[in-house]
Amino acid sequence: MATAMAASALVPPAAAVTRQRTLLCVPATARAPREMAAEVAAAAALGADVAELRLDRLSGFAPSRDLPVLLAGPRPLPALVTYRWGPAAFSARGWCGGESPSCLPCTERGRASWPKWEGGEYEGDDEPRFEALMLAMELGAEYVDIELKVADKFMKLISGKKPETCKLIVSSHNYENTPSAEELGNLVAQIQATGADIVKIATTATEIIDVARMFQILVHCQEKQVPIIGLVMNDRGFISRVLCPKFGGYLTFGTLEKGKESAPAQPTIADLINVYNIRQIGPDTKVFGIIGKPVGHSKSPILHNEAFRSVGFNAVYVPFLVDDLANFLTTYSSPDFAGFSCTIPHKEAAVRCCDEVDPIARDIGAVNTIIRKSDGKLVGYNTDYVGAISAIEDGIRALQPTETTTSPLAGRLFVVIGAGGAGKALAYGAKEKGARVVIANRTFARAQELGNLIGAPALSLAELENYHPEEGMILANTTAIGMHPNVNETPLSKQALKSYAVVFDAVYTPKDTRLLREAAECGATVVSGLEMFIRQAMGQFEHFTGMPAPDSLMRDIVLAKI
């Protein structure tokens, strides 16, 4: 399936196809009508196009009393009214009403895994629910959402009574998986047959490649001029929420703030607008992103999206939560998925997945940047290496200016702690600059392996504590020790740090790690991992865009926002 839908299927519809801008909708989920109205006002102030009024969230909801508060009079935003079933109603009807053949039926497993906050909270009969939705229509709601399972019944009820201005969204939710493209196509047809104005399908990603099937359906619907909201829930489906404008999605959801999600992994409206520049995303927008697992913590989207925007480059940069790199690259093989950053744990697999690998990245055995060339071939690079080594060189030069062009690392004893992707990049880079490299690692066999590769002795971490063969040594930590939240940890005691003249820490959250603080107290020159982060990102930007990186802007963004 993945291969079958690759390149051609993920090409967005031609610009000639008429398309409206993807709407940004904020779910209003407060418990009281006035608070919900305040959420709508806040959503308008943040730049939303629509507010979803989740009637099932209102405590003691009385339609004739509460709906006028929400719908009558001038409103800051068009309203999408939803009155969603809750767990009890679901367990009576089955998982998503049993409308999808691949959906879990009413099994114990299904009920047990139903997370209440994800779904609706209404637990009564359909009739009062339908009456509330009809009243919302009369009061001028611009959109009403009804589940596919009961759509025919609702249609009969509203026959001839639905105001012209109200659009009916018929929705299907699958909290278990994302069906095949064929099944999704059949589902669209089934929803259209109810007379829906807008089709809504929300599925669940078990892998990020599932989202490609949803994009394929969006493209198909766009070509047929069928308005569709197609979203894939949970972290692995996150890209569906950001990239839907590229593929023609009618609407996407963004929360008012973190913690107010109405479905798993919804971004905030502020992030959609300000981080992902969603208003600028269209069919021609190139997609870049960071491939990792985990990846949600990465600050790279903040940095690259703002840098792209600053030079007018039509591209978006998203987090890709990837389990299997080869499958991901095969599935998202269209030219529009133009380049990737790679982080833990995929840097080594990336060497094998690229058609061509820069000789330095191949020697290091780690790729942190992948570019798709115009002929579709994937080329791998390593910008960690240049970023880290140049940061350390400049850190030393700043305090010990010299006239020579020789690297200040030449001839120095350079101790690398760690033998993973960053460790390899640092060890290789220092060796290239003429340093005498030593590797120390928790797993001694890995230290030996890297040592053998580049011709360097290996030490255990215990041996490192008393290692002091000469003055003026340089230390580079490339493990995650000391990284947030474990900010009180450090890879080497303060006593042992006294042997070093220069200390670099690849960890950059926090900027001032305990290692760097203690090294500075011992009188060493310290170089922050933030400097490496900025420089490796600038290298990636240049590979992605072919333009010089906006140096001071990227530096400012990192210092201000990361």
In the complex, which residues of this chain contact ligand NAP (CB under 6 A)? Answer: 344, 347, 384, 418-423, 441-443, 446, 478-481, 483, 506-508, 529, 532-533, 536
Q: Residue 342 is encoded by which pair of tokens?
A: 């790679």
Say whether the peptide bond before residue 345 is cis (omega within 30 degrees of 0): yes
Q: CA-CA distance, 5 to 82, in Å (whole number)?
A: 33
> Which residue lies nearer to ligand NAP by CB, 446 or 517?
446
| Residue 512 annotated to the active site | no
| 501, β-bridge pairs | none
> Which residue lies nearer to ligand NAP by CB, 76 or 457?
457
Q: CA-CA distance, 544 to 372, in Å (whole number)?
A: 9
> Which residue lies nearer to ligand NAP by CB, 191 or 427?
427
Q: CA-CA distance, 548 to 526, in Å (whole number)?
A: 28
| 437, β-bridge pairs | 414
In the set 200, 246, 293, 431, the catalytic residue is 200
Length of the chain, in residues: 562
Characterise 506 by phi-psi region: left (phi > 0), alpha (psi -120 to 50), beta (else). Answer: alpha
CB of 418 to ligand NAP, least distance (A): 4
Characterise 215 by phi-psi region: left (phi > 0), alpha (psi -120 to 50), beta (else). Answer: alpha
| 394, β-bridge pairs | none
Residue nearest to ligand NAP (CB): 420
Burial class (CB in 10 A: 0-12, 13-18, 19+), 194: middle
Residue with tokens 């389990």: 323
In the set 66, 271, 358, 384, the catalytic residue is 384
Q: Residue 388 is encoded by which pair of tokens?
A: 């880290």
> Which residue lies nearer to ligand NAP by CB, 93 or 299?
299
Assess contact for 80 and 23: CB atoms under 8 A. no
CA proximity to 477, closest of 448, 449, 518: 518
CB of 345 to ligand NAP, least distance (A): 6
CA proximity to 36, closest of 260, 223, 243: 260
Q: Residue 255 is encoded by which pair of tokens?
A: 């929360």
> Which residue lies nearer to ligand NAP by CB, 247 or 508?
508
| Residue 260 annotated to the active site | no
CB of 442 to ligand NAP, least distance (A): 3
CB of 493 to ligand NAP, least distance (A): 14
> Which residue lies nearer to ligand NAP by CB, 229 or 364?
364
> Which residue lies nearer to ligand NAP by CB, 285 or 382?
382
In the set 293, 347, 424, 543, the catalytic residue is 347
CA 456 to chain centre: 38
CA proximity to 143, closest of 210, 52, 228: 52
CB of 347 to ligand NAP, least distance (A): 6
CB of 236 to ligand NAP, least distance (A): 21
In the set 149, 162, 167, 173, the catalytic residue is 173
Q: CA-CA distance, 309 to 389, in Å (whole number)?
A: 28
| Residue 145 annotated to the active site | no
Assess contact for 412 and 391: CB atoms under 8 A. no
DSSP string, 306-357: HHHHHTT--EEEEEEE-S-HHHHHHHT-STTEEEEEE-TTSHHHHHHH-SEE
Residue with tokens 């509460």: 66
Phi, psi of 373 (to 5 degrees): -75, 170
CB of 523 to ligand NAP, least distance (A): 24
CB of 543 to ligand NAP, least distance (A): 15
Taking residue 137's Cβ as centre, other Cβ atoms within 10 Å add up to: 20
Return the biggest CA–CA distance within the chain. Answer: 90
- β-pairing verdict for 525-527 and 500-505: parallel
> Which residue lies nearer to ligand NAP by CB, 87 or 510?
510
Q: CA-CA distance, 289 to 528, in Å (whole number)?
A: 24
> Which residue lies nearer to ligand NAP by CB, 30 or 456?
456
CB of 468 to ligand NAP, least distance (A): 20
> Which residue lies nearer to ligand NAP by CB, 249 or 292?
292
Residue with tokens 């489906």: 237
| Residue 126 annotated to the active site | no
C-alpha triplet 194, 197, 198: angle, nearest 5°: 100
CB of 256 to ligand NAP, least distance (A): 31
Active-site amino acid positions: 173, 200, 347, 384
